[in-house]
Structure 1
Amino acid sequence: MEKFTLELLCHIIGIGSASGLLYKDNSLFIVGDNSGFLYEYHLDSKDLKRHPLIENPTENIIKKDKPDFEALSYFQDTLYAFGSGSTAKRNSMVEFDLVQKKKIATNNLSELYAVMQNFASIKPEDFNIEGVIHDGENWYFLNRGNGISNKNTLFSLRAKKLNQEFTMLSNDYKLPKIKGVRSSFTDAVLVDAKIYFLATAEDTQSTYDDGEVLGSIIGRIDLETMKIDFTKKISDSHKFEGLTVFKKDNNKIEFLLCEDKDTEILETAIYKLSLNLK
């Protein structure tokens, strides 16, 4: 797992602060943490579409008001966009139909997020969901430990839908440091009973305020043991916040990554990360 390549795949004009990424049917679905839209970018035609996720959506919503969509997940034909839960205005989960290409529901996750905080002893100011996975039977939520307590926590919920009864487990992880700063989860994806995750080191002790970016790593958690198989630093300067599978065979897996530059510039770079599996 030592060998990897990271290369720029494309630039997309019209999207800023990309934070969640999904590749499906040669299109990229992207959310930005300061935007009220779900973006759909076709890799061949370079066509960019905007789908509203909130009422009266705009780009570059001011920080105190933004819904802070940080994670994308999907199962079958439904895509889910999650707010981070880091403030009271960031507790929404929007369901989007990938066939009809329209929003079908908005759910308030305040109660669920409160249960998660209580269960894992995470203070509200240290709660910051940045990755979500759904496989039809389970939900996995990753809390980014960029608060004072460095709580990098993986929540495992056994439920088909989040409005049903569920069982919950949580596991805490001590991720590697980069330049003396502890890295923290920024996204994840499920591949063959393994969770591949991104983590970034950012010189801040706040889930709200940004800091100097010191680099990013990729790692893998085995769902049977709930232990980390490996971690590997992939950048000294990028804040990668979106992860999705692009291609996979027995020898190699290719991911697509998006970068959150924490600016109001409506431009996003998509990178391809190739990992050798043998």
Structure 2
Amino acid sequence: MEKFQLSVLFKIIGIGSASGLVYHDDKLYLISDNSTFLYEYNIPTEKLNKIALTENAQDNIAKKDKPDFEAIAIKGTDLILLGSGSTENRNMIFNYAIPTGKIQKNNIGTIYQKIKQKFNISDDELNIEGLIMDHDHIYFFQRGNGAKGKNGIVYSKDVAKDQKFEYVPIDLPKIKNVPTTFTDAILVEDKIYFLASAEDTESTYLDGEVLGSIIGTIDLKTMTLTNSIQISDKNKFEGLTLYKQSEKEIEFLLCEDTDSEVLESDIYKLTLKR
């Protein structure tokens, strides 16, 4: 992972503060942490379609009211969108069926409460920023940017039956003496690829100075950090999706949360040597 190439691939007008993305069938599906739309961007035609998740959906919602969508994952042809859980109104989960456009909405607050109680995570420390769903397994990536630094993976190997969660703390490298913490993760074969950023704040609610981002890998079986590399000293990358791969290289698409109300988002391509 020593060699990498990072560049802006294209810009999308109409979405700001992008916090997660999924690449599927020549389309990018994106979420924004201050919006109640799911955004569908057709790469070949460069057209953006906004899918309303709620009545009176908005692009820019006040910080205290926003659902704070920070995680998006794909399972089959279903997209799953999660609120971060960092406040009571950030506990929603949406399921969007790509073939039919059907939307299902639920509250995941009881599961978040169970996680907080079992692993001694306080209300103001919970901050789910990444999600992986694989068969019956579910993995939540807890961003430890609160005062206690609870950064780790909460997972269940059969969530449909018993929701028996386990927690693995993950210590990540520092940038300018500030720990990096999870901002997204995906599964590629038996390896977790994750993004993490360093932000000079001890609050899951208030933003701080962005010091940069890293990408790294975690072994799925042992849940241990295997590699990481800093890819920026200024960007807070919050979304990661697999784009292309070969024997020699693997390519990802990344999105960035600029903590701005401007409705435009750069999409980056990151290429890593195998």
CA shift for structure 1 position 51: 0.4
Q: For 1:180-259, what aligned pairs fall within 5 Å after superposition?
A: 180-259=177-256
Q: For 1:156-171, what aligned pairs fall within 5 Å after superposition?
A: 156-159=155-158, 161=160, 164-171=161-168
Q: Which residue identity lines up with residue 8 of structure 1 in the other structure?
A: V
CA shift for structure 1 position 120: 1.8
CA shift for structure 1 position 124: 1.1
Instruction: Determine the C-alpha separation between the residues in 2 that align with 1:232 and 1:60.
Output: 33
Confirm or deny that 1:109 pairs with 2:108: yes
Q: What's the secondary structure of 2:90's corresponding residue?
A: coil
- TM-score between both structures, scaled by the size of structure 2: 0.98
Q: Which residue identity lines up with residue 96 of structure 2 in the other structure?
A: F
Instruction: Determine the C-alpha separation between the residues in 2 that align with 1:192 and 1:78.
Output: 19
CA shift for structure 1 position 249: 1.6
CA shift for structure 1 position 160: 5.6
Confirm or deny that 1:274 pairs with 2:271: yes
Is the contact made by 1:136 and 1:160 (CA closer than 8 Å) also made in structure 2? no
Q: What's the secondary structure of 1:117's corresponding residue?
A: helix
Q: For 1:16-55, what aligned pairs fall within 5 Å after superposition?
A: 16-55=16-55
Q: Which residue identity lines up with residue 127 of structure 2 in the other structure?
A: N
Partner of 1:120: 119
Instruction: Determine the C-alpha separation between the residues in 1 that align with 2:102 and 2:51.
Output: 7
- TM-score between both structures, scaled by the size of structure 1: 0.97
CA shift for structure 1 position 102: 3.5
Q: Which runs of 4+ in 1 moved over 3 A?
A: none
Q: For 1:82-93, what aligned pairs fall within 5 Å after superposition?
A: 82-93=82-93
Instruction: Determine the C-alpha separation between the residues in 1 that align with 2:53 and 2:190.
Output: 30
Larger CA deviation: 246-255 vs 227-236: 246-255
Instruction: Determine the C-alpha separation between the residues in 1 that align with 2:98 and 2:39.
Output: 12
CA shift for structure 1 position 101: 2.3
Q: What's the secondary structure of 1:111's corresponding residue?
A: helix
Residues 121-166 of structure 1, C-alpha deviations (whole Å, 9 max, x = no match): 21111100000000122001000011001111101112364xx422
Instruction: Determine the C-alpha separation between the residues in 2 that align with 1:202 and 1:237.
Output: 10
Is the contact made by 1:51 and 1:102 (CA closer than 8 Å) also made in structure 2? no
Instruction: Determine the C-alpha separation between the residues in 1 that align with 2:54 and 2:152.
Output: 28
Larger CA deviation: 23-32 vs 47-56: 47-56
Q: Which residue identity lines up with residue 107 of structure 1 in the other structure?
A: N
* CA RMSD, Structure 1 to Structure 2 (Å): 0.9
Residues 93-123 of structure 1, C-alpha deviations (whole Å, 9 max, x = no match): 00101101231x1111111001111222211
Larger CA deviation: 32-41 vs 54-63: 54-63
Partner of 1:136: 135
Q: Which residue identity lines up with residue 118 of structure 2 in the other structure?
A: F
Q: Which residue identity lines up with residue 57 of structure 2 in the other structure?
A: P
Instruction: Determine the C-alpha separation between the residues in 1 that align with 2:232 and 2:119.
Output: 30
Instruction: Determine the C-alpha separation between the residues in 1 that align with 2:118 and 2:172.
Output: 21
Is the contact made by 1:187 and 1:243 (CA closer than 8 Å) also made in structure 2? yes
The share of aligned pairs that are identical, in percent, is 50
Is the contact made by 1:130 and 1:143 (CA closer than 8 Å) also made in structure 2? yes
Aligned length: 274
Q: What's the secondary structure of 2:116's corresponding residue?
A: helix
Q: Which residue identity lines up with residue 113 of structure 1 in the other structure?
A: Y
Q: What's the secondary structure of 2:79's corresponding residue?
A: strand
Q: What's the secondary structure of 1:213's corresponding residue?
A: strand
Is the contact made by 1:7 and 1:273 (CA closer than 8 Å) also made in structure 2? yes
Residues 163-210 of structure 1, C-alpha deviations (whole Å, 9 max, x = no match): x42222110011111011111100000011111000000011000000
